[in-house]
Each structure stands twice: as C-alpha cells, then as structure tokens.
Structure 1
C-alpha cells in the first residue's frame, strides 16, 4: 500500500531524521521526501511531504508512532487531519489578558491558535477574532474551552463564523 503524508516539523537539527525513525522501525519504504526549509507555515514550522510504501497495518502504526512523538500530521493521502475554527470574543478582550486566552487554548493537546485579530471601538471595549487549528475530533472540546474562558472573563462569544 502507498501512503502520502504531510508532517509539520520544527526547523531544528535532527527533527527530520527523528521523524523518519518509525518508517525504518516498522519496515516501510520511503518513496519521496520533500523538505523545503525555506518555506514555513504560519506556525513557523516546515511542512514535509512524505510518500511511503508498506503493509497497511504497519502504515497505521507509523501514523500512531509519529503522533506519539508529538509531531503533527497535517494530511494523510490528501485528506486534512486538522481543521480550523474561527470565533469572535466581544468585551474587554485586551483588558482581560489576551495572552492568557491564547495560552490557555495553546495548552490544549493538538490545538494551536493561528491568528488573533483585535478591534477597538470608542467605548474602550474590544473584540477579537481568534482562529484555532486543531486535530480532527476536537471541535467540541475547543468550543467548550473557548466558552469557559469567555465566561470567566465576562466576554460574549460568537462561535463558528
């Protein structure tokens, strides 16, 4: 069986080599590795495209092993493994510590705040458009966390715009 993956790697020495260890350990054959260090995504990470051949069971174990290493898999065979969610927070977004809001969301496993845009009006209130990228299946957990943060900071939430 042939499988195409897109991994998201840090631009640090040895990251690519260590990400390839599960392929070696589980007996898969690398067909292609495209690693372009001059291109980074909005998270400052490098997407690495890998095409591999092997037994279906081994390829599934490779995916599990890579995820256990803390490496994000962005795509498997062209299908996204992550989704984006955008939410608006209205109130005193700045005064209630926007950095804390971002940190609380980033502290969740497989969740990353990719953008935060803040707007001010003349009443000294602010609103923030926050975009979160997450692994598939985490949508409800992320929405619950956003609502929890908003409730603790007395912010109005407009979900999923």
Structure 2
C-alpha cells in the first residue's frame, strides 16, 4: 500500500479520510540556517517522511494479510491515524529545527550560543518525540485487544534515518 509519494518536489499523502500535500518550497526556509543547500535538505526530508509512512502502511498491510490479528482490525484506520499524527509531529520537528543555527554561524560570529543551545535541545526533544512515536505506535484492532505488533515496533524504529545536523 502506497500512502505517500514525492512528485515534483511535493509530498502527497492520502489514506482513508486524511490527505495532505507539502511542497518542498514551503519548508525550505526552515533549513536556511542549517545548511548551504536548503532545497536539497527539504527534498531529503520529504522523501524520508514518505518512506516512513509507506513502510508503516506496508507492514500493517502485511500483518493484515497474514490473518494473525483480531477480526475487527481495520488497517486503513490504523494507517490513517498514524499518518495524521506522524505528519503533525514531523512538521513540529521541522519548525523546531528551523529555529536552530548551524555551528558554523554561531561560532565565529559570536552569536548568543546559550539561546541556540536551548533551541537545539528543543529540536532534539522533538526528534526524540518523533522516534518514540514510531517505536510505540499502538496498532490495535477496534475491539481493543492488542495484536502482534512487537516486530513492527522494532522494525519501524530501525527504519528511521535521521539526517545529521548541518547536512
């Protein structure tokens, strides 16, 4: 199941009742102070978000195909809820990253580094929230009984590849 695709520098997410479109140009400004090439970083971020969403959707589809889950399990609802929250958390992370400055700027220019350190701690906390969201995504059938998602949690957590600061 493909729920997200990057085409013409635009991420399009559509699953269930959720649809979102994020253009690289709209998030490019958030990477101005982090890299010399904010357009490339925006494209990378959109591609990685699409990959994470598609990996989760593929795993839920595979799990539903095996039949070792409760009969009331609705994979589309689970993927939709995950996509909604994950896109929101990713946007928060991008906004927090956008307030940080690369150390090439703060070091030689004698910027107030304490303020930048605080912003970087906040951005790192947002990144940790996003990673924790992947690791602890509760995919439960509508009946409320837990299904076998332990493998998915560990696999999704390993699938996250975060860009290095300043790339």
Do they fold alike, i.e. is TM over 0.5? no
Larger strand percent: 1
